[in-house]
């Protein structure tokens, strides 16, 4: 149990939640509770929003220059790097990730703060030629207080992805981590105070979505919301924001296709395809969960993939296998029900990964599963499983590949594997996605690269300079100096 686990970090200090209720912290590798977090409510969110408001309007945070904010972010990046093993250990226990993956997440967290620390004073406005005798300047201003509602799949990385650009742009922040994985956010709040973030710049309140999360999105003192999670809750968030006339970014997952043509370099493609779906046990918004294969190489590719899939090891963080358990018993049951339904509908299982016989009995483990050929209208071809399940869909030609790639409600990430330069460009333009990779894949990679979707994948952009635009608003100043 982490020291501060029953308390929220508000206004630069730890506070008992106003509710006496708690939520268990469960280790997904064993299914056992190892601590508690506060099940906070509306009054705790009120307090956090007030602290952020004060920091932004009157406190030390609001008076910092962009350069000073950037320095603080950079200092935090250094502190994360210096404490990376501890942060990775907290994250691995809370989410079940292999230690190697949790360490990579801690490195990505540091990189987010490094990138936005450097970007803070390079996020310029512009001047616009206008009428004679007039000067027009367009400046970027922070929204004010931003609310951040996080998922459980990459809690530490997400802390960086959403908070670093918001802080670099000058906002004061209130973050509600997912109730199933809040430990790293609490530790990182303490670390932010240690490196000198002024009181109220970063506030962390734990609790459930329907209570603490809804209170944050609907709070009249919140000026913008950044949400990552399910499409269903994304719709709720957008409606809550609309009620008080603010906007939000929604990052809601995907059913991302990898499209493999007959001329692709399969030696390069196969390990990338496998990693893109087993990474984080498939609990990745940008997981490559659909494999579209040109019919003429279907059998050859399936043979290689089945071999690679059968070698995937599932284990606890300490075993440092290829992937860990699913986050909760509920999510495990959901993923397993997709697998069971596909099997009972007669879709062939081409390969499955290995569950170590020494795995703890209570852990939420699921064997990575390769399905093919999947009928195009089947649930595992269209719906987000959010587990290590890859669906193979054969296609006939380029036009068929594009139609199939675009045949879900999602549009987040896509990959095209071909050596044909013309085809690379044609598909890059015609496939619907916020990020499109050619002969590579970047599930979650690239802090510098704008990222986000459309349709059921959500809207708005994170990462890169695009996130700074979303976390700010322009003000156009027109001066008549005649
Ligand atoms: P969820 O959408 O319920 O939870 C995400 C976050 O939203 C959590 O912090 C939660 O507390 C909060 N939340 C829930 N209800 C809320 C409400 N009414 N108002 C405000 N906040 C609320 O996701 P989940 O139940 O944890 O997972 C379900 C599915 O969501 C998964 O199977 C997966 O498909 C998807 N998911 C996607 C991502 C992603 O990265 N895009 C991450 C996690 C889950």
User: Residue 300 is part of a domain; what is its CATH number?
Assistant: 3.40.309.10
CA–CA dist 323, 315 (Å, integer)? 6
Cβ of residue 253 lying under 6 Å from some atom of ligand 1: yes
pLDDT of the residue at 359: 96
Cα-to-centroid distance, 464 and ligand 1 (Å): 24
For ligand 1, atom 32, name the residue with the nearest CA.
Answer: 386
Residue 237 sits in the same domain as residue 312 = no
pLDDT of the residue at 445: 72
Cβ of residue 339 lying under 6 Å from some atom of ligand 1: no
pLDDT of the residue at 1: 42
pLDDT of the residue at 444: 64
Other Cβ atoms within 10 Å of 365 Cβ, number = 23
Residue 221 sits in the same domain as residue 321 = no
Cβ of residue 153 lying under 6 Å from some atom of ligand 1: yes
Cα-to-centroid distance, 230 and ligand 1 (Å): 5
Is residue 285 flagged as an active site residue?
A: yes
Is residue 251 flagged as an active site residue?
A: yes
Distances (CA, A) of 127 to 66, 132, 138, 143, 469: 19, 14, 6, 21, 17
For residue 240, which atom of ligand 1 is closest to its CA?
19
Residue 247 sits in the same domain as residue 280 = no
This prediction has a pTM of 0.97
Residue 123 sits in the same domain as residue 17 = yes
Residue 446 sits in the same domain as residue 469 = no
Residue 127 sits in the same domain as residue 241 = yes
Give the tokens for residue 107: 């490195």
For ligand 1, atom 13, name the residue with the nearest CA.
Answer: 209
pLDDT of the residue at 3: 44
Model confidence over 430-481: pLDDT tens digits?
A: 999 999 999 999 866 799 999 999 999 999 999 999 999 999 999 999 999 9
> Which residue do the tokens 């005649």 mark?
482
Burial (0-12, 13-18, 19+ Cβ within 10 Å), 107: middle
Nearest to 214 by CA among 251, 159, 176: 176
pLDDT lower than 50: segments of the chain: 1-4
Q: Please tell me which residue in 179, 251, 294, 384 is annotated as part of the active site.
A: 251
For residue 216, which atom of ligand 1 is closest to its CA?
20
Residue 193 sits in the same domain as residue 223 = yes
Residue 129 sits in the same domain as residue 208 = yes
Number of folded domains that form the chain = 2
pLDDT of the residue at 239: 98
pLDDT of the residue at 448: 96
For residue 152, which atom of ligand 1 is closest to its CA?
43
- 183-194 and 84-95 helices cross at what angle (nearest 10)? 160
Residue 228 sits in the same domain as residue 284 = no
pLDDT of the residue at 404: 98
Cα-to-centroid distance, 201 and ligand 1 (Å): 25
For residue 458, which atom of ligand 1 is closest to its CA?
41
Residue 244 sits in the same domain as residue 263 = no
Structural domain boundaries enclosing 81 = 3-252+457-478
Residue 243 sits in the same domain as residue 318 = no
Cα-to-centroid distance, 131 and ligand 1 (Å): 49
Cβ of residue 405 lying under 6 Å from some atom of ligand 1: no
- 15: domain CATH number is 3.40.605.10
Residue 435 sits in the same domain as residue 463 = no
């Amino acid at each position: 149990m982490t020291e501060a686990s029953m308390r929220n970090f508000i206004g630069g200090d730890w506070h008992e939640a106003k509710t006496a209720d708690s939520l268990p912290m469960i280790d997904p590798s064993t299914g056992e509770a190892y601590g508690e977090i506060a099940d906070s409510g509306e009054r705790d969110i009120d307090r956090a929003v007030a602290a952020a408001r004060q920091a932004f309007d009157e406190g030390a945070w609001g008076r910092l220059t962009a350069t000073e904010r950037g320095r603080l972010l950079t200092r935090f990046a250094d502190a994360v790097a210096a404490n990376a093993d501890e942060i990775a250990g907290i994250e691995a226990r809370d989410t079940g990730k292999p230690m190697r993956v949790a360490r990579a997440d801690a490195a990505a967290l540091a990189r987010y703060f490094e990138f936005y620390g450097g970007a803070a004073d390079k996020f310029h406005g512009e001047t616009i030629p206008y009428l004679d005798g007039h000067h027009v300047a367009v400046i970027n201003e922070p929204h004010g207080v931003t609310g951040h509602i996080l998922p459980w799949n990459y809690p530490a990385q997400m802390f960086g992805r959403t908070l670093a650009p918001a802080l670099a742009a000058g906002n004061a922040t209130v973050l509600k981590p997912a109730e199933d994985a809040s430990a790293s956010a609490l530790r990182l709040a303490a670390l932010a105070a240690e490196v000198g973030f002024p009181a109220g710049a970063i506030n962390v309140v734990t609790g459930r979505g329907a209570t603490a999360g809804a209170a944050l999105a609907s709070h009249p003192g919140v000026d913008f919301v950044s949400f990552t999670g399910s499409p269903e809750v994304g719709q709720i968030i957008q409606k809550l924001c609309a009620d008080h006339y603010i906007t939000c970014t929604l990052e809601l997952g995907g059913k991302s296709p990898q499209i493999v043509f007959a001329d692709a370099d399969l030696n390069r493609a196969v390990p990338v395809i496998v990693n893109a779906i087993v990474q984080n046990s498939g609990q990745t918004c940008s997981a490559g969960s659909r494999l579209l294969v040109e019919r003429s190489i279907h059998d050859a590719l399936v043979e290689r993939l089945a071999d690679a899939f059968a070698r995937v090891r599932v284990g606890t963080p300490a075993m440092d296998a290829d992937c860990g358990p699913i986050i909760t018993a509920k999510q495990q049951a959901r993923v397993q029900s997709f697998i069971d339904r596909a099997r009972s509908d007669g879709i062939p299982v081409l390969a499955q990964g290995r569950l170590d016989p020494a795995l703890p009995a209570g852990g939420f483990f699921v064997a990575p599963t390769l399905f093919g050929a999947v009928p195009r209208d089947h649930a595992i071809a269209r719906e987000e499983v959010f587990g290590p399940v890859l669906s193979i869909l054969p296609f006939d030609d380029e036009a068929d590949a594009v139609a199939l790639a675009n045949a879900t409600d999602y549009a987040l990430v896509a990959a095209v594997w071909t050596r044909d330069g013309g085809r690379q460009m044609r598909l890059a333009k015609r496939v619907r996605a916020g990020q499109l990779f050619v002969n590579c894949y970047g599930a979650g990679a690239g802090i510098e690269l704008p990222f986000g979707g459309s349709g059921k994948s959500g809207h708005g952009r994170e990462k890169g300079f695009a996130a700074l635009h979303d976390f700010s608003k322009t003000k156009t100043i027109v001066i008549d100096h005649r």
